[in-house]
């Protein structure tokens, strides 16, 4: 957790007041994150209502809520350093600027300005802006059946994808342009969770028009239709894509997050919080998940055997002490008894797709941590 003052810049100008030379490859580009709903550090007053009697999903329409747009600098997210005297600013960590630096503006020599060096004090800041808008908030609660943890990348991809699907669904149900709404998500700190749930997360939609245009409020009144449409978007794709494509979830406005959009993870999360259902993989789906593992075993000349047992497709690695490998859905927590022999190491389609080499080492070489 990084803590820095938030500076709202009144404007920007090019260094030395001169245009950037064509071919200048030494520029550093930084980007602002999408507007975020601040994470509460104490009690937050929300008028939450249960969705269709679901224990895992609540929602609220909130008016005039505060949102923050922030630029945390380069990939290191250390922020920026600004001179409180001359206003020069640069990404944090460029130590050569700390003691003395050039002023960022043209010298007015006709007014007697001669010294181009400044030795003003330096302050570390984040750049940002705070604005108010109406929003529709969906609070999702997860118990021990779901392998939900902030350190798992699939959690962030799934929540982001649900938000994008809800934006598209709302635009179709309300018959508006999808650019009228934006989505975001936040994982709540453990201190704010309810006693019966391990983790809680919020996905929210808000009006892009500062102050609110009323679309998110109307979306809350038509939430069942929007969730039904979002599920259709996640479930059906003309291209039958592996994660997402321009026929289902991708568009120009979310191009920076295309790598995060995964309709299958989002669909499993949505079905669980709405209906309490965990996806059960068919034998064909299990074989598809484990096909890359099987290919890796063949490449490494490992002796293995494939078999079916109780609706499960398993691979037994004979050259590794008859280790068993099975497939699971993307979100379920599989409890493996360390005292049963042989233990079964489960992998998901998301893990195989994004980290096959490490998954192979973990499950075949026995480095996977077993949960008792």
Instruction: Give the residue from 64, 72, 61 showing the smallest Cα distance to 209.
Output: 64
Question: What pLDDT is stored for residue 174 in this prediction?
Answer: 95
If phi over 0 gives left and psi between -120 and 50 gives alpha, with beta otherwise, what is residue 302?
beta
What are the pLDDT digits (tens) for 241-269? 999 999 999 999 999 899 999 999 999 99
8 Å CB contact between 54 and 274:
yes
Domains of the chain, by residue range, sit at: 34-72+129-275, 283-364
Instruction: Give the residue from 68, 66, 211 showing the smallest Cα distance to 127.
Output: 68
Estimate to the nearest angstrom the gap between the alpha carbon of 326 and the chain centroid. Answer: 27
Question: What pLDDT is stored for residue 271 in this prediction?
Answer: 95
Question: What pLDDT is stored for residue 101 in this prediction?
Answer: 82
Estimate to the nearest angstrom the gap between the alpha carbon of 366 and the chain centroid. Answer: 30
Question: What pLDDT is stored for residue 189 in this prediction?
Answer: 76
Cα separation of 305 and 282, whole Å?
A: 19
Q: What is the pLDDT along the chain (372 residues), one digit of tens a residue?
A: 567 788 888 877 777 777 777 666 666 677 778 788 887 655 667 888 999 878 899 999 988 888 888 888 887 778 888 888 888 888 887 655 566 888 888 777 766 677 778 888 888 899 988 888 889 999 999 988 999 999 999 999 999 999 999 999 999 999 999 999 999 999 987 655 555 667 899 999 998 877 668 899 999 999 999 999 999 999 999 999 999 999 999 999 999 899 999 999 999 999 999 999 999 999 999 999 999 999 999 999 989 999 998 889 999 998 778 889 999 999 999 865 555 566 788 999 999 999 999 999 888 876 544 332
Question: In sequence order, what E strands does the chain have?
Answer: 6-7, 49-50, 57-71, 80-83, 89-91, 101-102, 117-118, 122-142, 181-187, 199-207, 304-309, 312-317, 323-328, 344-348
Q: C-alpha angle 241/141/178, rounded to 5°?
A: 45
Question: What pLDDT is stored for residue 319 in this prediction?
Answer: 79
Question: What pLDDT is stored for residue 255 in this prediction?
Answer: 92
User: Which residue has 């350190």 as its token pair?
Assistant: 151
């Amino acid at each position: 957790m990084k803590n820095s003052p938030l500076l709202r810049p009144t404007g920007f100008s090019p260094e030395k007041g001169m245009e950037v030379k064509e071919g200048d490859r030494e520029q550093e580009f930084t980007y602002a994150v999408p507007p975020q709903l601040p994470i509460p550090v104490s009690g937050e007053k929300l008028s939450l209502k249960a969705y269709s009697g679901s224990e895992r999903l609540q929602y609220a329409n909130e008016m005039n809520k505060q949102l923050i747009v922030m630029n945390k600098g380069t990939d290191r997210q250390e922020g920026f350093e600004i001179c409180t005297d001359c206003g020069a600013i640069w990404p944090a960590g460029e130590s050569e600027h700390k003691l003395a630096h050039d002023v960022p503006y043209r010298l007015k020599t006709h007014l007697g300005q001669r010294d181009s060096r400044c030795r003003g004090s330096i302050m570390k800041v984040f750049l940002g802006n705070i604005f108010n808008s109406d929003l529709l908030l969906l609070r999702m609660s997860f118990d021990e059946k779901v392998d939900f943890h902030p350190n798992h990348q699939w959690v962030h991809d799934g929540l982001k994808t649900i938000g994008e699907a809800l934006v598209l669904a709302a635009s179709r149900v309300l018959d508006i342009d999808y650019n009228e709404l934006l989505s975001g998500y936040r994982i709540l700190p453990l201190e704010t969770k309810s006693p019966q749930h391990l983790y809680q997360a919020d996905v929210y939609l808000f009006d892009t028009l500062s102050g609110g245009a009323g679309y998110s409020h109307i979306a809350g009144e038509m939430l069942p239709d929007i969730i039904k449409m979002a599920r259709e978007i996640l479930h059906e794709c003309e291209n039958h894509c592996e994660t997402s494509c321009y026929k289902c979830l991708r568009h120009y406005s979310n191009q920076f997050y295309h790598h995060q959009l995964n309709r299958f993870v989002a669909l499993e999360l949505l079905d669980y919080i709405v209906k309490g259902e965990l996806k059960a993989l068919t034998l064909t789906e299990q074989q598809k998940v484990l096909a890359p593992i099987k290919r890796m075993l063949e490449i490494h000349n490992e002796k293995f055997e494939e078999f079916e047992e109780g609706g499960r497709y398993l691979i037994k690695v004979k050259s590794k002490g008859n280790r068993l490998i099975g497939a699971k859905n993307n979100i379920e927590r599989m409890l493996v008894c360390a005292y049963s022999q042989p233990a079964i190491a489960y992998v998901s389609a998301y893990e195989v797709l994004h980290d096959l080499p490490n998954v192979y080492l973990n499950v075949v070489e026995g480095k996977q941590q077993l949960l008792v």
